[in-house]
Amino acid sequence: MATALTGAALARFDDTVELAPLVAGWDAHWQVMGTKSEPLYTERIDVRRDGDAFQARIEVIGQGDTALGTQHSAVSVDAAGTISWTEGCTKDAADCADDSQLRGFLASAALIALDRQGRLPATGTARTLHGKPVVCVADAALHPDAAAADVRLDPCFDRATGAVLAHWSPDSAAFVGATLAPGFTVSTS
């Protein structure tokens, strides 16, 4: 087994995981709370799934506890696998109605949509983030109908719930971008 030390997270990068049985066992109700820190600000992140509804609330706090704003985003996935924005879409109307490029902490909805469409990628890569088992799915496999991302970041899903906890950069072989810091919590209801 090969490993790479990336910041505080030990990442395994040679285990392939079949996605279908994993996704089939995911709970339809969960909540993730955590933070993501940058040099000049911290993001307090609350991401939830309630059945077909996925939502993210990100509160940005600057140095000295200055509130810099809160982002609310929400999408739903119907039985046919169509993703529709219900709050916070900044794209054009067509992309808000069926978003084939959903990324970031709401990418869980994109994976559920592919599963419902019968187009679930066959496998992902097992890794560990701050002691938590995750499975990372290649961005191109998660977004088969979208143009390639300028910077490839593969979302990494909690293996127990399907919540996005991190993003893996194949170019730098590290967790980067929208990745939760140690101390996050994942709960189901």
Mean of pLDDT values over 100-124 = 93
Tell whether the model's pLDDT for residue 10 goes beyond 80: no
Supply the DSSP string of 60-115, one letter for each residue: EEETTTEEEEEEEEEEEE-TT--EEEEE---S-HHHHHS-TT--GGGHHHHHHHHH
- Which residue range is the domain that position 32 belongs to? 3-188
Q: What is the pLDDT of residue 14?
A: 58
Q: 115 versus 189: which is more confidently predicted?
A: 115
Q: Is the pLDDT of residue 36 over 90?
A: yes
Mean pLDDT along residues 48-65 = 93
Which CA distances in Å does 72 have to 126, 150, 159? 30, 24, 25
Count of the separate structural domains present in the chain: 1
Output DSSP code: residue 119. Answer: -
